[in-house]
A and B are shown apart, each in its own frame.
Chain A
Amino acid sequence: MEAQKTKLRVQDFSVFYGDFQALRNITIDIPIHQITAIIGPSGCGKSTFIRAFNRMNDLIPTSHAKGGIFMDGQDLYEIDAVELRKRVGMVFQRPNPFPKTIFDNVAYGPRVHGLRDRVKLAEIVERSLRDAVLWDEVKDDLGKSGLALSGGQQQRLCIARALAVEPEVILMDEPASALDPIATLRIEELIRTLKENYTIVIVTHNMQQAARVSDYTAFFNMEEDRAGYLVEYGPTKQIFTNPREKLTEDYITGRFG
C-alpha cells in the first residue's frame, strides 16, 4: 500500500451477535485522506464492519467484538464511545434529518458539544452547508424543517450535520441507495471533494459507485456459516481491472451477488 499513512488499523477483528459470527478475522489498513469503499453481496457484514469504527454496534445488546481496531494507533475501545463518535462521523443509508429546522439540524452537533455562541454557530452552519454543497439551495430557508427537503437534499443535510462537528473520519453506509441517479451523482461528487480533509469509508452495493468514487476497495464475501470475511483489498483500479482473486472477478463482473 505504498507509503500511505494509516488512519484506521483493523487487526484480526471479529464481530458476534450472540452466537452468530457476523465478521471473521478482518485485517485491513485504511489510509488517511483517501476514500475506501467496502463492497460485497448483501449480508456479508459490510455495515457491521463500518459500524465498528464508531462503535455503533455497541448499541445492539447482544453484540461483542474480538481483535484489534485502532485509530492513529489508539485502541478504539479505550476511547469513550461518545468522544469517539465526535471524531468519527457517520452518514446513514436512509437520510435521517431530525424533525427540526435546517439550521438546528446542522447546529445540533456543535450544540451538544457545548457551543452556545450564536455567531460561531451560524458560521459553522454556513460553512458545513457550503461544504456539503447545499448552501445555495437552502440559504434563504434555514428556518424550514429539514424534513421538507427532497431525499437528495436531506442526505446532503445529513452530511453537513456530520461535517459540523469536524470529525476526522466519515463513515458512509450506502449513502446514495435511497436516492435517484441525479441526486446520487451529486453525492458522489461531494464525497470526492471531502477527501481532502477527511478520511472516508463508504459501504456500497453499487460497484460502479465504488469504481467512480473510491481510491481503495475492499471486497467482502460471506462464508457458508454467513460470517463475513475479507476477500481482497487494494487500490480500486487494481481491484476492478486486475483482481488477484477469482471470486472478486466473478463479483465485479456480475456473476454472483
Chain B
Amino acid sequence: MSTELSSRVSAPPLSPPKLGGKEGGRRTARQTSGNLARRKLTQNVAFAFVWLAAFLAVAALIWIIGYVMVQGVQEINLEFLTTRPMGGVTGEGGMSTTIVTTLYLVVLTIAIATPFGVGAAIYLVEYAGEVERENRWVSCLIAVARTGIEILAGVPSIIFGLFGFALFVVALGFGFSLLSAGLSGACLILPVIIRTSEEALLAVPRSYREGSLALGATKWQTTVNVVLPAALPGIITGVVLSVGRVIAETAIFWVTLGGSYRLPTGLRSAGRSMALHVYMLAGETTAFDKAMATAAILIAIIIVLNLVINYTSRRFAARMMGSK
C-alpha cells in the first residue's frame, strides 16, 4: 500500500485538472492521495516525537518519585513518625513535630489568605467595573492592583521571605514564629488565590447574575447567594493548590519560621515544617536517609491532596449539573 502511494507521489501531474468533468475529478483525487502519503508521514513523525516527549516527561517524574519513595520507605516506621527530631549532626530522632508544625502553618496561612484573596477577587470581578467608570483615580489604583497581582504571582518565594523577615520578624517584632511565617506565607499565596478565584467568578454565567437581579435581589445578595456558590469549586481548587504550595515551600519559611524542631506552643513559637526539615537534614546533617523518608511522606501527602481536589471538584461539578 505504501509503495503504491509513494510511486504516485513521484508521478508527474498529467495535466491541469478540469473542474466539474468526471475525468478532471478523478485526477484531482489522484493528486490529493499522492500528497496524502507525505502528509501522513509528517503526521507519523510528529506523533512519534510527541509520544516520546510525553513518555520521557512522565518517566522522569515517575523515576524521581519512585526513587524518593523507595529510598524513603526503608526509614519510615511508627517510631520515625511519632518521635520528635533530636537535632545534632547525625540528625537523630523522627519527624513528629514537623508534621504538626506543617499542619499549623497550613491552617494559619489559609485562614489568613482566603478571606482577603476571595474578597479581593469579588471586588475585582463584581464591583471594580462600576467604580472604574466613575472615578479616574480609583480606576488607576485598580489597574495598579491588577498588575501587582500578576507580578507578585511570579515573584520567587525567597523574596516574600525577605519581606516577611524584614517586616514581621524584625520590624513588628514577631520573631521567628508561626505568626511571621503564616503572614509571609499568606502574602505568597494571596496572588494565587486571587487569580484562581477571579477565574472561577468570571466563569459564572452572566445569566445567573441577571436571573437573580431580575428577582429584585441586591448585587450583594446575588454575589453571596448565587455567584459565590457557583464559583466555589474553582475557589476551593485554588485554596487546595495553595495548601500544596505552603506544604512544599522551604525558603520563605527558613527566614520566617526559624527551624526549631520543638513542638510549637503558640503563634509566637518558632518551628520547622516538613519541607524545611528535609532541607535541614540534607544540608546540615549526615542523615540523608531520614531526609528521603521525610520527602517520601511529603510526596505522599501531596499526591493525596491532588486526589482530594480531583474528587471534590468532580463531585461539585456533578452536583451542579444536576445529578442528586
Given contacts A61-B129, A61-B133, A98-B208, contact A54 B214 (CB under 8 A): yes
A175 located at the interface, meaning its Cβ lies under 8 Å from any Cβ of chain B in the complex: no
A40 located at the interface, meaning its Cβ lies under 8 Å from any Cβ of chain B in the complex: no
Q: Is the CB of A82 within 8 A of B133?
A: no
CB-CB contacts below 8 Å: A72-125 with B: 82-87, 89-90, 92, 94, 96-100, 108-109, 111-113
CB-CB contacts below 8 Å: A136-151 with B: 143-149
A26 located at the interface, meaning its Cβ lies under 8 Å from any Cβ of chain B in the complex: no
Segment of B12-20, B47-55, B109-117, B216-224 in the binding face: B216-224
Which residues on the B side are within 8 Å of A109 (C-beta)? 215-217
Q: Is the CB of B213 within 8 A of A85?
A: yes
Given contacts A96-B207, A96-B208, A108-B225, contact A162 B320 (CB under 8 A): no
Nearest CB of chain B from residue A235's CB, rounded to whole Å: 29
**C-alpha gap A92/B205 in the complex (Å):** 13
CB-CB contacts below 8 Å: A173-203 with B: none
CB-CB contacts below 8 Å: B219-269 with A: 221, 225-226, 229-230
Closest to A148 in B: B322
Which residues on the B side are within 8 Å of A158 (C-beta)? 211
A32 located at the interface, meaning its Cβ lies under 8 Å from any Cβ of chain B in the complex: no
Closest to B324 in A: A144
Closest to B218 in A: A82
B22 located at the interface, meaning its Cβ lies under 8 Å from any Cβ of chain A in the complex: no
**C-alpha gap A109/B320 in the complex (Å):** 20
Choice from A94, A113, A143, A145 contacting B320 with Cβ under 8 Å: A145
Given contacts A144-B324, A146-B322, contact A162 B213 (CB under 8 A): no
Band of interface residues on B? 20 to 34
**C-alpha gap A113/B212 in the complex (Å):** 12
Q: Is the CB of A96 within 8 A of B323?
A: no
A3 located at the interface, meaning its Cβ lies under 8 Å from any Cβ of chain B in the complex: no
B171 located at the interface, meaning its Cβ lies under 8 Å from any Cβ of chain A in the complex: no
CB-CB contacts below 8 Å: A146-167 with B: 146-149, 158, 161-162, 165
B79 located at the interface, meaning its Cβ lies under 8 Å from any Cβ of chain A in the complex: no
Which residues on the B side are within 8 Å of A100 (C-beta)? 229
Which residues on the A side are within 8 Å of B217 (C-beta)? 82, 108-109, 112
Which residues on the B side are within 8 Å of A113 (C-beta)? 216
B319 located at the interface, meaning its Cβ lies under 8 Å from any Cβ of chain A in the complex: yes
Q: Is the CB of A89 within 8 A of B215?
A: yes
Q: Is the CB of A145 within 8 A of B205?
A: no
**C-alpha gap A165/B218 in the complex (Å):** 14
B321 located at the interface, meaning its Cβ lies under 8 Å from any Cβ of chain A in the complex: yes
Q: Is the CB of B216 within 8 A of A112?
A: yes
Nearest CB of chain B from residue A233's CB, rounded to whole Å: 25
Nearest CB of chain B from residue A161's CB, rounded to whole Å: 7
Closest to A144 in B: B324
Closest to A158 in B: B211
Q: Is the CB of A165 within 8 A of B133?
A: no
A1 located at the interface, meaning its Cβ lies under 8 Å from any Cβ of chain B in the complex: no
Choice from B208, B214, B319, B321 contacting A90 with Cβ under 8 Å: B214
Which residues on the A side are within 8 Å of B229 (C-beta)? 99-100
Choice from B133, B208, B215 contacting A85 with Cβ under 8 Å: B215
CB-CB contacts below 8 Å: B22-49 with A: none
**C-alpha gap A100/B213 in the complex (Å):** 16
**C-alpha gap A97/B210 in the complex (Å):** 11
Closest to B129 in A: A61
Which residues on the B side are within 8 Å of A149 (C-beta)? 322
Q: Is the CB of B212 within 8 A of A108?
A: yes
Choice from A85, A96, A145, A148 contacting B216 with Cβ under 8 Å: A85
Closest to B323 in A: A148
Nearest CB of chain B from residue A69's CB, rounded to whole Å: 17
Choice from A59, A96, A111 contacting B211 with Cβ under 8 Å: A96
Given contacts A82-B218, A148-B322, A162-B215, contact A56 B226 (CB under 8 A): no
Q: Is the CB of B321 within 8 A of A96?
A: no
Which residues on the A side are within 8 Å of B214 (C-beta)? 54, 56, 85, 89-90, 92, 162
Choice from B205, B221, B225, B319 contacting A96 with Cβ under 8 Å: B205
Which residues on the B side are within 8 Å of A59 (C-beta)? 210, 213
Closest to B322 in A: A148
Nearest CB of chain A from residue B88's CB, rounded to whole Å: 56
Q: Is the CB of A98 within 8 A of B212?
A: yes
Q: Is the CB of A99 within 8 A of B221?
A: no
Q: Can you report 19 A-B residue pairs in the complex whose CB atoms are below 8 A from each other?
A: A56-B210, A92-B210, A92-B214, A98-B226, A99-B230, A100-B229, A108-B212, A108-B217, A108-B225, A112-B216, A112-B217, A144-B322, A145-B319, A147-B321, A148-B321, A149-B322, A161-B211, A161-B215, A162-B215
* Contacts from A to B (Cβ < 8 Å): 54, 56, 59, 61, 82-87, 89-90, 92, 94, 96-100, 108-109, 111-113, 143-149, 158, 161-162, 165
Known: A89-B214, A98-B208. 18 other contacts (CB 8 A): A56-B210, A61-B129, A82-B218, A85-B213, A85-B214, A87-B216, A92-B210, A96-B205, A97-B211, A99-B229, A108-B226, A112-B212, A145-B319, A145-B320, A145-B321, A146-B322, A148-B321, A165-B216
